[in-house]
Amino acid sequence: MAMTRRFGLHHVTMLSTDPVETLRFYREVVRLHLVKRTVNFDAPDIHHLYFGDAGGRPGTLLTFFPFTDAARGHVGGGAAAAISLAIPAEDMETWILHLVEQGVDTLGPTERFGESVLRFEDPFGLALDLIGREGIGAATHPVLAGATLLSQAPAATEALLVRLMGFELAGEERGLRRFVVPGTGESLDLAREGAASPVETGAGIVHHLAFRVPDEAGLGEIRAELVAWGLDPTPVLDRRYFRSVYVREPGGILFEFATDPPGFAVDEPPERLGTSLQLPPEFEPRRADIERRLAPLTPAG
């Protein structure tokens, strides 16, 4: 069967703690836009904050669950060890100066697969890799470009990426095997060795990676293929801004498949994305209660 599928990333979702600090860091330091303020649909007493480009396009999105009392997690098998963000190669010096000005410690730049990589951490311990990339043109913000994955079963993870999801092996370097989705500019770097210990989830840990599916029909197809693969995906869930299926891949990493439509303009005008708390209709009757329980998003005082 010809593999024509192209699953680029839709979003990545992480755990943090303080929502005010999450907002400050990802807007002022990472220079992304807040494109949606909502709640965790499974635990509506905490926020779900979405950052991305100004339009909140799928593929640009980093999202956070700020669990205010979460302990710091520890990276291990069954999680992403780092998130990659691409910037124009010629902007690397500017970014180093910006991060120094912001008081952020950096490591590098080092070279990985022929590109310059600058590593830093968010305030919660999440590793972020700024990739200096040729030919991506001027950019006002970094663009989600992939992740480094630690699998508990690398061969099984690789089989799923390549045979079911259309990734192609692009190279191997220092224990990392790079998989790309041709045409998206994105890559997943999979550690060749299985991780010694499993991830301990908590602040600074990637909760899941979501991949783009064009529509709900496509979501149904991938769900059926995951079942045929012997995995146990969730039913199709309504995440308001997209429809989703989640599945724990064989190496322990939580994957999500998410539709591009309907997008973030479904409940507020495109020019006002992220400016006010949006709740799905079923939570609206409880808005006052939910707002009271949410940690404030603006600094106290």
Which range in 5-13, 107-115, 152-160, 215-223 contacts Zn ion by CB under 5 A? 5-13
Residue 276's contacts (CB-CB under 8 Å, 6 or more residues apart) are: 37, 268
Question: Is residue 142 a contact partner of residue 85, using CB atoms and an 8 Å limit?
Answer: yes
> Candidates 38-46, 78-86, 207-215, 290-298 — which segment interacts with Zn ion by CB under 5 A?
207-215
Give the residue from 20, 48, 92, 1 showing the smallest Cα distance to 207.
Answer: 48
Site string for Zn ion, 97-136 (x = CB under 5 A): ----------------------------------------
Residue at shortest CB range from Zn ion: 210
206 binds Zn ion (CB under 5 A): no
Give the shortest CB-232-to-Zn ion separation in angstroms: 18
**What gap in Å lies between CA 215 and CA 217, rounded to an integer?**
6
Q: Which is nearer to Zn ion, 120 or 211 (CB)?
A: 211
Segment lying near Zn ion (by CB under 5 A), choices 12-20, 67-75, 137-145, 159-167: 12-20
Instruction: Indicate the residue type of 220.
Output: G
Tell me, what DSSP letter sits at residue 41?
A: T
Give the residue with the Cβ less far from Zn ion, 49 or 210.
Answer: 210
The interface with Zn ion within residues 248-277 (CB under 5 A) comprises 256
Residue 185 φ/ψ region, left for φ over 0, alpha for ψ in the -120 to 50 degree band, beta for the rest: left
- Nearest approach in angstroms of CB 214 to Zn ion is 17
Q: Within a 13 Å sphere around the CA of 147, how many CA atoms are in the beta-carbon half?
A: 28
Asked if omega into 270 is within 30° of 0 (cis), the reply is no
Greatest extent of the chain over all pairs of C-alpha atoms, in Å: 61
Minimum distance of Zn ion from residue 231's CB (angstroms) = 17
Rounded to the nearest 5 percent, the helix, strand and coil shares of the chain are 20, 40, 35
Pick from 147, 161, 210, 253: which binds Zn ion (CB under 5 A)? 210
CB atoms within 10 A of CB 262: 12
Q: How near is the Cβ of 18 to Zn ion at its closest, in Å? A: 21
Binding residue (CB under 5 A) for Zn ion from 9, 13, 129, 154:
13
Size of residue set near Zn ion by CB under 5 A: 3
Residue 7 Cβ vs Zn ion, minimum distance, rounded to whole Å: 14
Residue 249 or 256: which CB sits closer to Zn ion? 256
Residues in contact with Zn ion by the rule CB under 5 A: 13, 210, 256
